[in-house]
């Protein structure tokens, strides 16, 4: 009996020890799971061949404007042109009533004939001293005056034919047949605008003018002659005008109110695609740059002092801070001159969760689309 009790006690103690051991195993601390590296979106930069341009807002202006006005008084008898048509210099546009001018011409011719006859007769008489020298001089002066009056009568008669002073497109007629017009009147009969070639006036801050002149002198702007740069045009819808023009840098004045300057470009306009008053964008061609680095703007940040910085993933899969220099914005990308190179993995997503020196997991960025509105790369060099 005693042996049975001893065995039972031993079994009880073993059970308690097993339970205590299980509790200790459950209460033992589990090893902490290793923390994963944060994920960032990157763009791998590539060297590109790029055509650099400077874009300026502009407005088209006629090359020449001529207001057609009468040079004699009279009634308009005929209008001899079609409104909106092309006219040539010297082409007759209106006919003013000639009657009084034809009469004045006949009177002047008769007066000259009489004065000439008298002067010739006095020339013979003065040699014979039959008339005084003063009488002969007066007759000669009368003849010269009659000749001048005849010439004026001929001019007035010719001015009854109102002609175009320049080549160009003529607008609507401001008068109709039967209207009375006069020499020196305020309003024109019509207006002619020469549209081929045509001007494009562009505005630019005065400080940029000096840079553009320097770039032209040093060959960074494509030249189109002495002190002129080659320029192309873009319409409001983004399409490009087929003709190339030249932008002159001479005779520039600064607007004191705005501090801007107006530069004038000249463009061929044979098909009259450019009309006066159109808003356009002028592009100055600065040349081709090989090995250009274009970085998405999402990957470039500014310090409080205005310095540009970028975060890249280096070969050790760690975040590295770069000081960069940006030249200009091209669409949604920055043209980088210093700090980034081809092959760099620029971080554009997850910037708020990282800092320099931390290890990250890089994946292709999804927040960077095609270059919206920017200058597209020209592609690889071709043999």
How does pLDDT run across 69-79, given as a tens digit for each residue? Answer: 999 999 999 99
Name the more confident of 350 and 381. 350
Mean per-residue pLDDT, 117-141:
90
Second-level CATH architecture of 98-159: Orthogonal Bundle (1.10)
Residue 153 burial by Cβ neighbours in a 10 Å radius (0-12, 13-18, 19+) = buried
How would residue 26 be classed by pLDDT, with cut points 50, 70 and 90? very low
Per-residue CA distances from 35 to 32, 184, 185, 356 (Å): 9, 92, 91, 18
How would residue 25 be classed by pLDDT, with cut points 50, 70 and 90? very low
Mean per-residue pLDDT, 178-195:
96
How far is residue 333's CA from residue 335's CA, in Å, rounded to a whole number?
A: 7
Name the more confident of 152 and 259. 152
What do you get for the CA distance between the two ends of the chain, in Å? Answer: 110
Question: If you classify domain 72-96+160-187 with CATH, what class do you get?
Answer: mainly beta
Q: Which two tokens stand for residue 372?
A: 């919206």
Identical fold for domains 54-62+195-288 and 72-96+160-187, yes or no, is no
The pairing of strands 279-296 and 333-338 is: antiparallel
How does pLDDT run across 318-338, given as a tens digit for each residue? Answer: 999 999 999 888 889 999 989
Q: Is the pLDDT of residue 23 over 70?
A: no
Mean per-residue pLDDT, 247-275:
83
Taking domain 54-62+195-288, whether its CATH number is 1.10.8.100 is answered by: no
How does pLDDT run across 262-304, given as a tens digit for each residue? Answer: 888 999 999 999 999 999 999 887 667 788 999 999 999 999 9
DSSP H helices in the chain: 2-27, 99-127, 133-159, 206-217
Residue 307 burial by Cβ neighbours in a 10 Å radius (0-12, 13-18, 19+) = exposed
Average pLDDT, the chain: 84
Q: Is the pLDDT of residue 129 over 60?
A: yes
Are 299 and 310 spatial neighbours (Cβ–Cβ below 8 Å)? yes
Q: Which two tokens stand for residue 227?
A: 């002190």
Q: Is the pLDDT of residue 126 over 70?
A: yes
* All structural domains of the chain with their residue ranges: 40-50+290-364, 54-62+195-288, 72-96+160-187, 98-159
How far is residue 147's CA from residue 169's CA, in Å, rounded to a whole number?
A: 39
Report the SS3 class of residue 341: coil
Q: Which residues on adjacent β-strands are paired with residue 65?
A: 193
DSSP string, 135-184: HHHHHHHHHHHHHHHHHHHHHHHHHTEEE-SSSEEE---S--TT-EE-TT
How far is residue 380's CA from residue 49's CA, in Å, rounded to a whole number?
A: 7
Task: Kindly give, in sequence order, each residue whose CB lies less than 8 Å from that of residue 311, ignoring residues fewer than 6 positions away.
Answer: 299, 319, 320, 321, 322, 346, 347, 351, 354, 356
The pairing of strands 92-96 and 86-87 is: unpaired
The listed CATH number (3.30.710.10, 3.40.250.10, 2.40.420.20, 3.40.50.2300) that belongs to domain 40-50+290-364: 2.40.420.20
Per-residue CA distances from 16 to 22, 27, 178 (Å): 10, 17, 132
Cis status, amide bond into 197, omega within 30 of 0: yes
How does pLDDT run across 204-241, given as a tens digit for each residue? Answer: 887 777 777 777 777 766 666 666 778 899 998 889 99
Q: Is the pLDDT of residue 340 over 70?
A: yes
């Amino acid at each position: 009996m005693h042996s049975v009790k001893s065995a039972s006690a031993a079994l009880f103690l073993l059970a308690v020890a097993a339970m205590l051991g299980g509790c200790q195993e459950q209460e033992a601390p589990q090893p902490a799971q290793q923390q994963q590296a944060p994920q960032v979106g990157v763009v791998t930069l590539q060297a590109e061949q790029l055509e650099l341009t400077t874009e300026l807002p502009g407005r088209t202006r006629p090359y020449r404007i001529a207001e057609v006005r009468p040079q004699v008084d009279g009634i308009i008898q005929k209008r001899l042109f079609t409104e909106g048509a092309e006219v040539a210099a010297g082409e007759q546009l209106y006919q003013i009533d000639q009657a009084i001018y034809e009469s004045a011409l006949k009177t002047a011719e008769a007066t000259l004939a009489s004065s000439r006859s008298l002067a010739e007769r006095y020339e013979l008489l003065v040699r014979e001293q039959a008339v005084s020298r003063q009488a002969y001089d007066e007759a000669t002066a009368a003849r010269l005056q009659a000749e001048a009056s005849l010439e004026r009568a001929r001019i007035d008669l010719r001015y009854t034919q109102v002609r175009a002073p320049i080549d160009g497109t003529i607008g609507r007629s401001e008068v109709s047949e039967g209207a009375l017009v006069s020499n020196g009147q305020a309003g024109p009969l019509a207006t002619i605008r020469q549209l081929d070639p045509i001007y494009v006036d562009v505005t630019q801050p005065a400080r940029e003018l000096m840079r553009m002149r320097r770039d032209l002198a040093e060959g960074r702007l494509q030249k189109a002659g002495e002190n002129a740069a080659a320029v192309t045009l873009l319409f409001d819808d983004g399409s490009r005008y087929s003709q190339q023009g030249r932008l002159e840098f001479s005779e520039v004045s600064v607007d004191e109110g705005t501090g801007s300057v107006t530069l004038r470009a000249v463009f061929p306009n044979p098909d009259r695609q450019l009309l006066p008053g159109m808003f356009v964008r002028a592009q100055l061609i600065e040349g081709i740059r090989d090995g250009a680095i274009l970085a998405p703007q999402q990957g470039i940040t500014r310090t409080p002092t205005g310095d540009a910085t970028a975060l890249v993933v280096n070969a050790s899969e760690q975040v590295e801070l770069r000081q960069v220099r940006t030249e200009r914005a091209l669409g949604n990308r920055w043209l980088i001159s210093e700090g980034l190179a081809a092959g760099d993995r620029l971080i554009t997503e997850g910037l708020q969760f990282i800092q320099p020196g931390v290890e990250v997991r890089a994946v292709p960025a999804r927040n960077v689309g095609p270059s919206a509105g920017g200058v597209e790369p020209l592609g690889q060099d071709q043999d």
